């Protein structure tokens, strides 16, 4: 995605773009959020402070009301997240009167259940271990996540109510059929569900909804100046966790984040979009998927996400 300099020149990209379909998407999401509350004893909502989970939280607010969301928010913190995002996470949970549970990969490292190959190894993949430990600690039977099918092909395979076995693993070939709004929520002891109420949304839907509902986001999602270096087609932020390599030279670019995650594997894109409306225009013109344009961890192999999901990843 290339930076745009004059958004007034772009209305031809969406001369008839409407947002009435958002009502149907919102209605479906609210239905699923209420179904989880009705069908499970100990659900939790995965909340990172990112745009998708903020949209999910907005729908939960509409489903139940401020101060009445019937399940806690859960964040698995690698310790390498952008502080602007974790600060926003805490603020939003406080505003809604929601219980926020944070479990840290560093605690799993201290217990010896996570071992890094070297000090600068990305902790992102190791979140699966900490997440499964949190599920066991709180005996969660359903975890609501903000994944969307258009993000990545492994996520496109998943059902809205996605079963996990007693080891927390996903079996792609043993998924339960979903017809209309008929969800099979039956569980055996030790099993749980991952539930994805915004599976049917696209990145464009998310940004149109953010614009329509005036949802506040961490500033990282909008254009700002940042030191980056180009590697394998990605703009890698220059940080203490992702330092320059020998021979590399940093450049300062106008960038924004399409997705926000662990610093060690999430990259910004060149952009001058400073509002949700301008991001909608950019998204209409995008020809690379959100994760394809921003994630180093998805480039390790064509099946990297599927393998991580089988191991318990989000």
- CA 123, 126, 131, 137 dihedral sign is negative
Given a cut of 90, whether residue 314 has pLDDT beyond it is no
pLDDT at 293: 61
Contact indicator for 262, 80 with CB cutoff of 8 Å: yes
Residue 74 lies in a domain: yes
Domain coverage including residue 245? 218-299
pLDDT at 310: 74
Strand partners, 229: 236
Same domain, 107 and 37: yes
Given a cut of 90, whether residue 154 has pLDDT beyond it is no
Same domain, 186 and 234: no
Same domain, 236 and 149: no
Say which CATH number the domain at 186 has.
Answer: 3.40.50.620
pLDDT at 17: 76
Same domain, 132 and 164: yes
Higher pLDDT, 236 or 152: 236
**Per residue in 46-57, pLDDT tens?**
999 999 999 999
Work out the average pLDDT over 108-136: 92
Same domain, 161 and 46: yes
pLDDT at 6: 54
Residue 11 lies in a domain: no
Number of domains in the chain: 2
**Eight-class DSSP state of 118:** S
Contact indicator for 108, 76 with CB cutoff of 8 Å: no
Among 3-12, 184-193, 298-307, which stretch is predicted with the lowest mean pLDDT? 3-12
pLDDT at 180: 85
> Residue 297 class from Cβ within 10 Å (0-12 exposed, 13-18 middle, 19+ buried)?
middle
Sheet holding 142-144, edge to edge: 100-104, 73-77, 43-46, 142-144, 192-195, 161-164
Angle, vertex CA 284, rays to CA 280 and CA 288, nearest 5: 115
Confidence of residue 1 (pLDDT cuts 50, 70, 90): very low
Higher pLDDT, 118 or 201: 201
Same domain, 243 and 264: yes
Confidence of residue 22 (pLDDT cuts 50, 70, 90): very high
Same domain, 53 and 119: yes
pLDDT at 11: 53
Residue 108 lies in a domain: yes
pLDDT at 292: 65
**Per residue in 247-271, pLDDT tens?**
999 999 999 999 998 999 899 999 9
Residue 257 lies in a domain: yes
Residue 14 lies in a domain: no
Same domain, 141 and 273: no
pLDDT at 309: 73
What kind and span of H or E run contains 231? strand 224-231
Contact indicator for 130, 101 with CB cutoff of 8 Å: no
Q: What's the longest Cα–Cα distance across the chain?
A: 58
Q: In 260-303, which ranges are continuous DSSP H helix? A: 276-285, 290-294
Higher pLDDT, 171 or 222: 222
Same domain, 113 and 168: yes
Same domain, 42 and 74: yes
Residue 13 lies in a domain: no
């Amino acid at each position: 995605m290339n930076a745009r300099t004059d958004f007034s020149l772009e209305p031809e990209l969406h001369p008839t773009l409407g947002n009435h379909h958002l009502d149907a998407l919102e209605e479906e999401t609210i239905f699923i959020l209420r179904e989880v509350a009705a069908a499970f004893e100990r659900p939790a909502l995965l909340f990172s402070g990112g745009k998708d989970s903020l949209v999910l939280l907005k729908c939960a607010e509409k489903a139940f009301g401020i101060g009445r969301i019937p399940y806690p928010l859960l964040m698995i913190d690698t310790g390498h997240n952008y502080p602007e995002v974790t600060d926003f996470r805490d603020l939003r949970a406080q505003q809604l009167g929601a219980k926020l549970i944070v479990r840290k990969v560093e605690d799993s490292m201290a217990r010896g259940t996570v071992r890094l190959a070297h000090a600068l190894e990305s902790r992102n993949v190791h979140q699966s271990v900490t997440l499964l430990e949190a599920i066991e600690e709180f005996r969660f039977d359903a975890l609501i996540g903000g994944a969307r099918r258009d993000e990545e092909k492994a996520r496109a395979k998943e059902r809205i109510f996605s079963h996990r076995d007693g080891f927390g693993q996903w079996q792609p070939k043993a998924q339960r059929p979903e017809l209309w709004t008929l969800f099979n929520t039956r569980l055996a002891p030790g099993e749980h569900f991952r539930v994805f109420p915004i599976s049917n949304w696209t990145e464009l839907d998310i940004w149109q909804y953010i614009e329509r509902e005036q949802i506040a986001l961490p500033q990282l999602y909008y254009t700002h100046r940042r030191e980056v270096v180009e590697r394998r087609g990605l703009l890698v932020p220059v940080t203490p966790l992702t330092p320059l390599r020998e021979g590399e030279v940093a450049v300062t670019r106008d960038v924004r984040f399409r997705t926000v995650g662990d610093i060690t594997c999430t990259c910004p894109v060149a952009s001058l979009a400073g509002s949700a409306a301008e991001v909608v225009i950019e998204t209409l013109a995008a020809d690379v998927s959100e994760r394809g344009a921003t994630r180093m961890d998805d480039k390790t192999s064509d099946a990297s996400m599927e393998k991580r999901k089988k191991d318990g990843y989000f």
